Amino acid sequence: MKEVKKYLFLVIIFLLANKAEANGVVIPGNTGLPSGTLAGVIQNLTMWLLGIFGFLAIISFVITGIMYFMGGSMTGEKKDVSKAKKQMQWSIAGVIIGLMGYIIIKAVDAWLRGSSVF
Choice between 93 and 6, residue whose per-residue pLDDT is larger: 93
Give me the mean pLDDT over the 28-34 stretch. 71
Q: Which residues of 47-81 are buried (b: 16+ CB within 10 A; e: fewer)?
A: eeeeeebeeebeebeeebeebbeebeeeeeeeebb
pTM: 0.57
pLDDT tens by residue, 37-84: 877 778 888 888 888 988 999 999 898 888 888 876 666 677 778 888
Through-space distance between the first and last CA atoms of the chain, rounded to whole angstroms: 68
pLDDT attached to residue 94: 87
Q: What is the mean pLDDT of the chain?
A: 78
pLDDT over threshold 60, residue 20: no
